Structures are given as structure tokens and as C-alpha cells.
Structure 1
């Protein structure tokens, strides 16, 4: 008796099977199909699809409920196959009432060849209610859809459903006198009102006209060649349908009024002058603006409940404020900026292939995953907590490479979903001194990929890590701050690098702030000399940095704040900077070389060599009042380089005070 919800994917009820429960079957984003029987009411909303018979097979789906809402259509789609036998098609038989609300769309598919003339019954029902409509998602020549009192039928006349197909056999001119077309394989000329098709079989792919043309529809089905149409497309009912994987460019000042369907590939326009206002349907295709895009798509009637497709912006900024729902996906490409400010719930995921995608709402990216490609960037604009999973590549879309995910303009944001590092040295950052907290786990799978933090040279920013992250590569803070929000937020097998690459400049420090937490790393080193390199603790509570290096490293930066340092690992760590830490030092393995006066800081007075070697290469390497403890048993030693004389306040061997 409970209900069933089809949110994504396909649920097929195959004969002689049945879905006999009395509960409502809600198709909210996926597809319900088959040739069996459904017992309860069926409600199709938000881009949901009914597919009687299954994909590319003719069959009848029976809805046995006899109620006043046996089948409710509200923003849904009906996909029916038509066969090559007259009248043979998919059908839905509804025992009760068909209730229509809003705009619902009929899509046709052909099982093989051209459906011939005849009457195709798509729906039968006991009664019809509501003020909604069922319309074809694209016009077909010689075909009329009628939604009557008890049935919805498609009447096909003449030679059946076919197109006047462009060949360009004589020229690239679209007029009424030149045989640049074929109809059912015979050379033909164009007549106003024809439904025309541009495919890959033509000889010419640049098409112009001396005046406006008004076909009933213009369909591009090109997956090999790109088309450019400079003709002015006119006609109140004229529509443009783009299928196939290649591009069709409209460069005329078009005035057609029947709407635009993007079902595949790219529809390329310079500006809104080439794309007149009207219905704009995204069914998997991409709208490409090569010039300045509109500030929004408000002039177009977009069905956001079933949106699936993308926008490519060469420059400029376009804002989508409407709520996008359904099972579709969104892609962003081009160097321009796409702003999402709606509370979206679409489930198909988001691909940022290039340029900027700016989030003005925490749910702007819907319920799916996000993939950021090289050259792409997701910007967070303030006080947002984003829960989506995201995969990132590259350094971002700016020339300075400040991150594939960024908090911008000094704002504070949180990314709580998991973050996958999908390429070596992928970057995360902030601008304007802002803060980005990543509370989701950052992981690189089985790949040894380094994570890079790069803030602006002048303003800096902070990346707060509050999960135990698991990426397998090193950590490089080029500019700005990583701040810990949990013990061991950095992977314990990661080597910490600080500083800018050779040739880069900046005034912002490269900083790891332990912030009262503890961290183990596999080494610490630095590069470049243009900015300061700091490992610090800005909190009153002491932090411990454990350096477990199995390879030799040199660190010329500074340790500051209430920070204890523990040297483990069998290899050598050389400290050559001047520090001011107030904590202690423990050497428990390997060799710690202190090469510069003040490398441990004048306030670091508690030094223990539990095992391994402490090598002093400067007579002022230790504070004069320091307490130096050397474990007995022969496993620990202190080595003074030639000419070095060191003064300490207390010297212990084991527990025995020697001076």
C-alpha cells in the first residue's frame, strides 16, 4: 500500500509483471516504463519521463487506477516510439482520468525508418481534467498532435514524418529556387514552411540566404561537421533543434518564435541577437556565447524542472537565479563566469570544464557531484556551507592559480563534502584574506598527488582543515596559511613544503598554523627566499610537530609560538633558519643538524636527545639557559662540529644532572 518514487534511472514494469500496490508511483526525475500494469495512481513531475514499451520497442503500459488522478502530468515528458507500420506505436492505457498541469512534452523516437501516414494513438483515458497541455518537444512535418476528451493521437499524413534535407549540391545559398536539398532521396527545392534538416551528408556546411527564411523547423543532426548559418531564421512557429555532437553557429539576426531545443552538441551564437526570446529547452546540449552573454536567461522560457545541458561563455557573466531541479546535469565551459544563485536540487552533477562558476547559494550545485577540470574554478561568495562531493584538477582559472576551489573577496565558507584530488598539484585557496574551511576528507585515491595552497601575494588567506585527510602526496604551501582544526589534519605521510617557486614573488607568508593541535609529517622543507616560511602555533595551548623523515631535508624557515618539536625518522633534518618557538625539542631518531644561531629559538630551553644524534654547527645554536638531556645507554649523542663551543644551563645524562 506504500508509494513508490522514481527519482533517477529507469523502472521498467515488464509484462506479464505488475506493480499492483495501491500507493502512488511518483516519477520525479527518472523514467517509468514497460508494457506491464501499474495498479496505483501515477504522478509525473519535475522532468520525470513515461516510456511505454521500453526504449526503441513498441508496447503498451497499462495504468489500472480508475480515480480522478489516475495519471497526473505536471512538467513531465512522454516518450513514444513509432514503428514503420501505420498506426503502430507505444501507448499508455489509463483506466481513470488524465490530469494535466503545466506544460508537458511529447518526444518521438522511431524504431526504424520513417513512420508512414496514419493515426497513432499514444494515450487513452476515461476522462481528462486540468488546464495543462501536452505538446510536442519539436515539430514534425505532416504530423498533428490532438489531445482529445478520451485519447491523445498523432495524425501523420502524406509521405509520413520526414525532413527536407540540406545537401548544398549546387551552392551554399538557401533560397526557393536552388536544388540544394533532397526529399526522400530526390533533389528538391525549399518551400517556406518546410521542416529542414542539416546533417553530415552535405557538401557545403556554410549556409547563407539573401533574405529571411521561415521553415516550420530547423534541425541540426551533425556529429562530424560544424555548420554556420548566416541566414535570418524567421517565422512565428519556426523552431530550432540541435542534435549531434558538433556545433551549429547561428550568425543571423534571427526572429523565429517557436523556441530552441538543445539536444546535443553546441548551438553557438555571438549574442542574444542571434538567439531570439522564446522557449529554450536544454536536453543535453550546450549553448555557447562567443560574444557578450545576456546577464540572465530571463528573456527565455526555460523549463528548469527538466534542465540538462550546459553553457559555454567565452567572456562576460551570466546569472541563473531560477531553481533547477530534476535528474539532469549542468556543465560550464569557456573563460567567462556563470553565477548560480538559486536553491537547486538537480541530481545529475556539475562539470566545470573551464572558467568560473560562482556559487551565491549553498545548494547552487544541486544534489549531484562536481568535477572541476584543468582551467576551471568554483568560487564561494560568503557564509556558504557546501555538502557536495567534488573532484578537482589544476590550479584554477586565474593566471596566478589561486585554486580550483576558492573563498573569494575576503569571505568565509565551508566545504563539508568529500574532496578528491584528481591531478598532481591541484590547488585550493582564498582571496582577499578570506577563509575556506574544508571539513570533508581530502583524498587522492591510489594516486600520489601533492596538494598545493596558493593565496594572493598581497592579501593572503587561510585554508582551515578540520578532517583527517588522506591524500598520498606532499603538502605545498606556496603562499598563505593552512590552519589545523583537528589533530593530524595533514596526512601523516606527507612532506610539508613552504615557499614560492623560483621566479615567483610575494609578500604573504607561507605558513602552517597548528592552532593548538598536533601534527605528524614525513618531513619539512622550503623553497625560494621571497617570502617568510613559518611553522607556528597561534594558540596558547602547546602543539607538537613530529617530523618523521626517512629522507634528508633542510628547513631554512622559522618555528614560532608555543610549539614542541619531535624529530623521529632515520634520516637527517637540517635547521638553518632563525626561530622563536617557546617549546621543547626531542630527538628520538636520525640526525638533527642545527646549523644557524637561533635555529631553535632563544625560548626553546628544554632539549632532549632520547636516541639518534643532535649535531650543533654553531656555537649559539642552543640558548645559554637551555636544559640539555642526553639519554644514557649509548643510543643518543650530541655532536659538535669543529670549532663549535656550546653553552647550556643544565646538562643531564639520563636522570643525572652533570652541570
Structure 2
């Protein structure tokens, strides 16, 4: 609030706000380094220059200081702030309220202006961009120019002087109150103009006024074009036009005085009328009036009219409903006072009226009272009827190529009214000039029609009268019906006769003549009538063009159809030299051929056909390319043979393009190559490529497919980089024959379904695999199983990956299932099986038989595995079966996942097993209750299927339990508790090694929970010596999974129930120092029930048969030691030996063939461990246990127990 004076300067630092309130006169200037400097009044800023790099806020006053820098100026408050300095600040200006005044635009710096108040500017050039809701006021008598692309919306006021905007966009969006002069160059001025000021159109551009304006100062057009798009756009003042004024509002303009100066143009667009006080057309001016939508009222009404220059009238045909034989008078200008002058020239549609020979047109001031300017018009055809000065004639000349004229009146013979000196016959029509003549009346003139230039459109069925049409240019029949009255049509060389869509032609007994070099153009669709042209005779030549037609998508060439274009009374002579089809959706393999019907030469037919068979009168040149899009298919039932080649095709090569399917079902004889580059080429029925002995090539590109159904043949060499398919999915036993060599770099696959294999690819030649693959479907059973097959009469070499898609229950094989039959010599590595093939219990591998060079799928193990049967129960098929004598037993190769399923089952069962001491530990004293936890982990090894499957399992278990009920009478006690455990086990299963040395592995996992209860009776409640009885029940539920190579991953659920009853008697033997040795003989019996879901693997094998009951008994002896430290036993070592006998029948069935785990019925078990009492309540126990038995069975585990007593 201090007052600042002196010659020093003020520097605002920091990002904060500083407010100046004093009436300061310091002269050293002000610097704003950062932040905000606030001055409610400009007087607070002293008299020096201001260098602003932050923000300057000023409320009111006169800021004479010069502003510079990158900072911004903010006008605050509701007062007035005047800027009078020549300012260069660039940070922009913000007006939050009140009024900001700048006598010159230079005071506003160079940045954008955001205006929410009022901005007053006197003169200069305001290049700044204006935005915001505020207004702009032009003050003073000077000129102010706006250059920015402004969008301020508060409106514009011109108090005085001149406001200049080169583009209307500079004036924002609000209304303009003009009391001075507004000069605008171009653009669209949507703003509403009001006030007493004037509008001046400057520059050569176009300015459109679309507002509902009321300004009264008048309008001046200095240059360019001013378009009035609203009937009130020009306000109420005079209009002085020195450029171009276009009234285009489709309504009635009410103006004061309108003057069109020399060289200027005033234009009334269609639908527009003008009412003025005075209309002045100066010499060399132009008045354009479009009468296209005239309604009979005068186009211009005025108090007074002065005419000169040129009148140009367009759309004259709209001032009457139709052209009648009588002359028609239309009042163009209606004046309240006499019109004493006239136009110097009258033009129609830009043509001098002398050139519009088909109309008799006159424009003049009426002779009665001179207040009307009238247009008088009539067809020259009828001119002599009213003794007109112009002789009647039938010539219609339209010289403008873009011009057209429609004659809706009826043209009839007028020879009885003609002047005797006339050179016209009164009944013939001649079309001249490059423009278009439209005849739409019901004409009956009989002298004929001659078309020398341009276009004549017959828009009605009788438009051409009854005479002959002599066409030297273009004739279009567009009558939407049958043209039936014409007395013949002759189309000369270079001319065109066209039948538009929906139009037909009946010449009666007259002739159609198409001379050489002429064109007949017909537009067709599926609704076009047949025949399209009828008549007495036809002489054909030149070109036939078929437009707007579409070739319907046919399923095959057997469905091709013909369209009868002509049906004449006599034989057609000559023929078209070419046929052009302007088709939509045209497949490249289809064409249309125009021919005279050989069976009835009075008919001309358009016949669908293959482009392969195209002739000179076909729509397309002959070629051998068949392109079908995705989802499209087409069958060629006819025979494709060699054709005469052309510059683009050799006449004998077939190329398949596109993702769609082409089927050949004929015995084709073409000798060129077959190139399947995209999509599918298929042979069906009797489909054949090439004749027997042909050396032609079939090339299948990568991504493309080639194949054939049963009985189809390729005579030639096949090179496959894509997919070669033999047989259809609905065929069984299909044979696809290739009489030639086969090179496979892609994929060969049977088309049979996996449930019905039996297709054969027969290669009568050599086979070479070049990294390709072969996919076959096979019933996986014994040697006689059905299978797809590759038969090669020659040699087999190279490398090919074989993939088998198998079904079936599996069976032991001897030689195996023959999948590749080689008549010549096969290399030992020509084929390699790349996927794991399992069926039932067995794994099949691919074997080469060196003696016959054939390849077999067989399930057989290495010869040193002399146990050929294994622990396997085959499915019961209802009777005894004696296998054939195959020369000796062959041990099968078993699938590896047998052990994975068994391992999951065995682990779930095994981890339910427990004894009283596993749970309770060594107890030498009574406890009212306890809680306990046990963790167990181990590794088990076993075999299955008589040692053909090795199983290695790793398992873990975490168990919790606690007593919930206790009873005792001082001597005996009974304790009841609950328990729960989580188990997790992984099994790795390895199958036996195949005869080829292959060996596969699989893995299984089971995890889940056991919930149970237990109850224990002790005869001695205090020391637990003597007899005891323990029992428990557990229910388990588990998640199982098996991973097995190509068989994929399978998941299933299982459950288990177990009940145990255990008894024993503990003998205590006292030792020195109070130590004790205890002997406890034990007996236990456990019943278990296990159940698992049935699953089906990727091979379709049903895997089940895991449900069953089992009994396990245990006899054992436990030895416990009790070692004292002082008065308390702290260490209790123990050992336990058990004999276990089990009826466990861990088995699994694969399609009813059952395999069993080689679990020994009797197993020996040894446990050793140490228990330590931490205090009177806590104890901990560690134990190591192991089991062993026959069949390489072993189990080793360790456990850790923690117990709390109370």
C-alpha cells in the first residue's frame, strides 16, 4: 500500500502475487520476472515502461506505459482501462470484465485476446485472434482491419469509421450493429447485420450473406461475387453492383434501388423473384434469369425500369407445363411506369436466340402501355400456323455439348398448314448440334427422324413417331417400356443406338440395321424382357455392348443360361464383330458370347460360358484363369481341352486363384500345366487332368489345396507345396490316382473322416518327400485294421513327417498296420512318425520293413522285453478268441500315461494310511486333551503292467487334528478327535521302450483334502500301558491331472473312503535310573474305497475302471525307550517293524482293456525316530520310515510331528 516515487524501478520476483494500491509516480519502470502483479488502477504502475514475463492485472485507468515481454495482460473489474502505448507484449490479453480501450490496435500486443467483457478499438490492424463471450466495438473515424480467424460471440458494434474484414470469419459469431462502413472480402457472413451503416463487398472472392439483415445504409459490390442466400440479406438500402450479385434464396426479394453497372452481372437463381423501387441495367451489363422453377408470376416487379446490356434466360421450358403448337407469352418484368429502353441482346441458355432454331423466341417491351417486358416463345415446328415471320421447320439444333432441351408437346404432321414456299415436309425431325434433345411427348409424326449430331433421347414409347430413324450420332431409347411405333432403325458407322434398362424395341415388320463400325448398347438385368428386340429383319455389324448386367453366380457350368436378345421374322444377316460386357460382379472365369442361334437363325442369343471357351464374339478374351473369392465355389462339368492361344494365354494352362473352390468333374484333355496358386482345386466324379501318358505338371503352391474324390485321376507329375487331399469326408475307400511322380514339400492328407478311414492315394510313379508331411486316419487295432494309405508303385525317398489321427481300442500287432506301400525301393528314413500315437493301452510307432520296403504302424517293444503280455486284461468280447499264428509273440509297447493314472490313484490311497502312533506319538502319561500337527514327505517307486511301466512318485502331506471329547473313570479312558489333511503328489511314468528305441513319459498330479474322525480307548488311563483300541474314518476328495505328450492334458476328480481298526498291548520294562523300555505288539486292518471320474483323451480313448475296494492288514512290533533327565523324561527313541499285506488292486482301463499296478501283496516296513518333550505340554517327534517289496517296490519318507497337551 506504500506510495512509490523516484527514478528507481520496481521488480516483481517469485511466483506469488504482488498488489500495488498507491498512486505511484516512480519513473524507473517495472519488471515482472514471474508471478502476478496486480494494480487496481493504472496509476499504481508509475510512468516507466513495463517488461512483463509473468502476468499483469490492471483494473481501470489509462495505462500509458509501454508493455513488452512474454507475459500476459489481464483486464479485471468492471471499470474502463485504456491502453495508449505502442506495446509489444506477446503473452496475450484477457478481459475478465469491464471495458478495455485501445485507440490503436498496436496497443494490444501480439498475443490472442480472450474477451469476456468489451473491447473497444479505434484503428490499425488487429492481427490478434479474438475469442470469448465478449463484444468488439469499433470506435473513431479511422479504419480498423481484422485479420484473425475469430470466434468471439458477444457481437460487433461499428460506432463510426470503417471496419475491414478480408474474410467473414474475422467477425466472430455474434450480431453486427453497423453505424459506419463494414467492408468484407469473402466467406460466409452468417452474422445478422443491423444499423444505419453500409456494407461494401471488396476483393475478387465470393461473399455469401445468409443472415436476416436490417441494415439500411445500402450495399456496394466493388468486385467479386456477392450471394444473397436470404431474402432479407441485403437490408433495406440501395444496391450498387459493380461485380456480380446473385440472388439465390428461392423466395421473393424486396429491395430499394438496384443498379447493375457496365460490365457487372445481376443474377436471379431458380425460384427467385425480385421486387424493387427501381431497376437499372446499364450498357454492357448482364441480367441472368433462371426460369427453371418459375410459377407464372413475373420474375421482376418494379416502380421503374431502365434496361440495357444483355438478358440471358435459362430454364425457359418451365414457364409452361408443356410446349404446345401455340406461342406462349410470359411477362418477365412488370413495371408500374413505362419502360422506355430495351436490352441490347437476348440469349437463351448462353446461346444467341438466333442459334436456338427449334424455338421462336422474342423478348420486347409490350406495345400496349410499355409497362411489361415479355418473352414470347413457340416451337419452330408449329411456327407457320400463326403466320409467324419464321418459317416452320423440324430441325433441333443444340450447340452446347452440356445443354439439353425437353419437348414434352406432341409432335404431329403439319404439312397442311405450311407455307407453300417452305422447304420442310412438315413431318420429319432432324437433330443437329452436340447437345441433347429429349422427346417425351406422344408423337405421331410420320416423316422419320435423322440424328446427325449429339444425342436424341426417346423418353416415351411413341417419341420417335412412325417413320424410319436414321442415326448418325447417338440414339437413346429410355422409355421404360416397349418402343413399338418406329418404322425401322439404321445405325451408321460411328453412331450408337442404346436401349436403356427397362426399354424394349418392337419394329413390327421393319428392319434393324447396324452398319460396320456402329454400336448397339443394351442395358440388361434379371428383369429384362426376352426377346429385347423384335422386328421384320436385322442386319448386324459393328459392336455389341451389354451394360449394367451382372453374371449370376452359378453353381456349375451345367446351369449356364442364354438371353434372347433378338427374335426377328426372318434370318439375321451379318454379325457383330465384337462384344463388350460392362459387367458388375463379373467372375473372371465366366463370359458371355453373342451368337446367332444355329437352330433358329432369326434369333440372336447372349449365352453364358467359360472364359476358357471364349471366341471373337465373347465379352472377354479366352484365358485359363479361375478366380473364386472366399466362400465361393464353382464346378466345371464340361471337358476342358486345348484352345487356340492368344498373346496372354497359351490355350492349355489352367490357373486357380482366390480362396474359393473350383471343382473339375469332366475328363479334361488339356495338355498344359495346372497351377493351383490359391484356394482349392478339386477333382470330382470322373474328373481327370490330362490324358493317359501325359507329361504335364500340376503345381500346388503354398497355402493352396488340390485333391480328388474316388475315381479321379491326374495324368502327370504333381509338385505339392500346399495341401494335397485324397478322398472326400463322406467317402469310404476312395482312391485318388496320380499317374506320375509326386514331390511333396507341403502337406498330404486324407479327406476321410477319422471314424471311417480307408482312402488311398495311389502314386503310379516315384515319391519324393522334401520336408513335407503326410496325415492319415487309422483304426488303431491289430494288423488288419482299416487305414488310409499311400501306395507308391515306384521308389520312395527324401524325408516326410507322418502324422496319424487314430481311433480304436488298440490291440497287439505282429507286422503292424500297413500305411505306406512301396512297390520299388524305400530309403530307411523316407518317413518318420512325428506324433505320439496311443490307443487303448498301447503306443504305436512307425516301422520300415526292409524285406518289402513297406511302412507299418505297430505296437511292439524291444526284443529283450520278453514278457509279451504284461498284467493286462483284454476287453471281454463275449467268447474265447484264438489269435492267428503269426510266427511268434510280439511284446507290445505300452502307453506311458498308464502309470500316471495309477500313480494318482495309489498316492491318494496311500496318503490316507496311518497308525495310532503316527498320529499320537509315544504316550507315557495321561492328558486331558491335545492338538497336533504332522508333516510328511516322501518318494515311492513301483512298476505296472508286469514291469513295462516305471513309476516314480513324490508326495507330501500336512495334517492337523485335535481331541474334542474325553472320558475316563480313573482307570480307563476314551478320547474322540477330528483331523484334516492336505495332500499333493506327482508321479512320473515311463513306458517301455519300443522296438524302434522310442520311449515316452507322462506325468500325473493329485492334490486334495482328507477329513476324518478318530476314537481311542486305553485300558490304563494314567500310563497308557496295557491294551488299547484305536479306530478312525477318513473321506478324501481330490483333483487329478495327467499330462501325456500328444495326448494332451486331462483332468478329473476322485474320492476315497477309509476305515481303520487297530489294537495292541504295551509292555513296560523298568531299567536303571527310572528309564523304561516298552514293547507294543500291534494289529491293524484298513478298508478303503476309491472312485474316479471317467475321462476321454485326445485319441478318443475312454479311461475309467479305477473304482474299487481294498483291504490292508498290518502286524507289527513297536519298541519305545523312555530316558529321564532328573525327574522328567525328555527323550523317547522308538523303532517299529511291520508286515503289511494288501489286496490293493490299483488298476485303470483304457477302452475296457485293464492294466494293473505291480504292487506286492506283502511289504516290509521299518520306522525309526525320536520324540522329545520340550516341557510338560509341548513335544516334538521326527520319524523316518521305509517300505520294500517285490517288483522293485520301495517307499521312503520322513515326518515331523508337533503336539500340545493339556
TM-score for the superposition, normalised by structure 2: 0.29
Structure with max Cα Rg: 2
TM-score normalized by structure 1?
Answer: 0.49
Instruction: Flag the structure with higher helix content.
Output: 2
- Decide which structure has greater strand share: 2
